[in-house]
A and B are shown apart, each in its own frame.
Chain A
Amino acid sequence: ACGGGKDEGKKESKNDASDDGVQEITIKLSHEVAENTSQHVGSIAFKEYIENASEGKIEVQVYPNGQLYGDQDVMQSLAANNVQFTQQDLSKLVGDDERFNIPSLPFLFASDDEAVEFWDSEKGMEILSALEKDGIYGLAMWPNGPKHFTNNKRPLKSPEDFKGLNLRTQGGQVLEDVFKALDAGSVSIPFTELYTSLQQGVVDGQTNTFVNTESKKFDEVQKYLTVIGDTRVDVGFFANKEFMDSLNDETKKIVEEGIKAGTDAAREASKEMNEKAFEEIKNRGNVEVYELTDEEREAFVKVWEPVYEKYAPVIGEEYIEAAQNVGK
């Protein structure tokens, strides 16, 4: 293991950016999730593509599990070029730009494909580019998938069933309002305390993708799962601007193709893994699974109308409209 790669890269590119040949550089990619996730699959595809295509001239070091940086400091480190690539949960960027609230709007997208199509569109890319002023390129959206409620009190079939439940939220004002519209309380609990908090009933339930609920074993301490897919977890793939701009054409081409390879792999893996996780949850049989019917879903759509009224102006009507028009 040797450091200093990125700086050598910088210098090199200043001197011989016009030169042919792939630059010898080391790329650090840091993300905060486990190795059994679609994000990691994408990261590895990115690494393998680039290392192969550059014939080993470019080394890509992947640091999963937040072992190098966590969600609270990775963007700063990306901006400073201590890492060159990262993925970040879009809903954690709402403090930088309200438009990142899009995944938290209930039923905005009917599937992963629709979400992907929106974020690939002009409007979506416009939002992803919001961090360019801080020296960060937004490259692509990697879906983690739709979220589904689990809880310990009762099967949740209608908005009324949510009344009085205390649900864990991962933060953000939109999500708080989403819960409030159901008369449910939102409690913020750090991940390390969540499993025991669910077990002991500090909170009644939580909402997560199948993969998260399965891999973090929340079904072990929950009784009911409602398949609803109202809000989503989507992450952005980001790169340091200064690093990207320092690449010569040949190197840049490889990196950009790597980005595409990683993105394709991550998107594919996300779908597969959620399906597999759902099967696994059903096999384990810890939770009673309930899938909402279309009519039951309609009742939720109605209840959440005020959330749209409140946040459409904040996020920007044109983005919501564009999102709604996807797939139609």
Chain B
Amino acid sequence: MKNKLFTFLEGIEEFVASFFFIGGSIISLYGVFMRYIVNSPVTWTTEIFETFMVFAIFIGFGMALKDNQHIAVDLLYEKLPSIAKKIVDVIANSLGLGFSVFLTVMGVEMVSVAHQQGGITIDVGVPLWLTYLAMPIGMGLLSFYFLLKLINIFRHWNKEEKTQETNIEELF
């Protein structure tokens, strides 16, 4: 059964990512419209379009993990007995967690250095640290889902069937 809190959080995440993805798309169309139809090009569109897409994509890292979209190699895994599969799952998700936590920390550093240096983007003048926020946010969400997967494996340790593919929301 889906937990209300999880549904709510998931909804926010999806809403924010969609907002940036759709917003970016519209800005790109607006750029074509202003240059080609109105013949009065606007310079800011490229930079903002790219920033929006980057936020959508970085938030998507975690969403893609939740939906098992990240590509992995099954070659060895499929031949393993069930218990070994679980152990491999634990190792793999721990490594994933380590990777994404490390990148979150580095992302925070990226943001804080950019904040100290006070740089801004060239065309629009958006503070760089603001655009860099995509990194810690995206990697933070990725860490969150790796952690949930890990917890999930332990919760389902004694069940035979599904391991990796268990739905994360069952946790809540």
Contacts and interface: CB of A to CB of B under 8 A. Distances in A.
A interacts with B = yes
Interface of A: 76, 79, 91-92, 94-96, 133-134, 164, 166, 169, 171-173, 176, 185-190, 202
Given A76-B113, A95-B128, A186 B43 contact: yes
Interface string B28-56: 00000001000111010011000000000
Given A76-B113, A79-B113, A171-B123, 5 more contacts: A91-B122, A172-B123, A185-B41, A186-B41, A188-B43
Contact of B122 (A76, A95, A185, A190): A95
B96 to A, nearest CB: 25
Contact of A169 (B39, B40, B43): B43
Nearest to A94: B122
Interface residues of B, number: 18
Contacts of A186: 41, 43
B35 A95 contact: no
A1 B113 CA distance: 31
Contacts of B81: none
A171 B120 CA distance: 12
Interface of B: 35, 39-41, 43, 46-47, 110, 113, 117-123, 125, 128
Nearest to B50: A190
Given A171-B123, A173-B125, A96 B118 contact: yes
Smallest CB-CB A-B distances: 8 pairs: A185-B41, A171-B122, A95-B120, A188-B46, A95-B119, A187-B41, A96-B119, A171-B123
A39 to B, nearest CB: 20
B117 A185 contact: no
Contact of A185 (B39, B118, B119, B125): B39
B35 A166 contact: yes
Contacts of B123: 171-173, 176, 188
A316 B98 CA distance: 48
Contacts of A166: 35, 39, 41
Contacts of B41: 166, 185-187
Nearest to A179: B43
A184 to B, nearest CB: 9
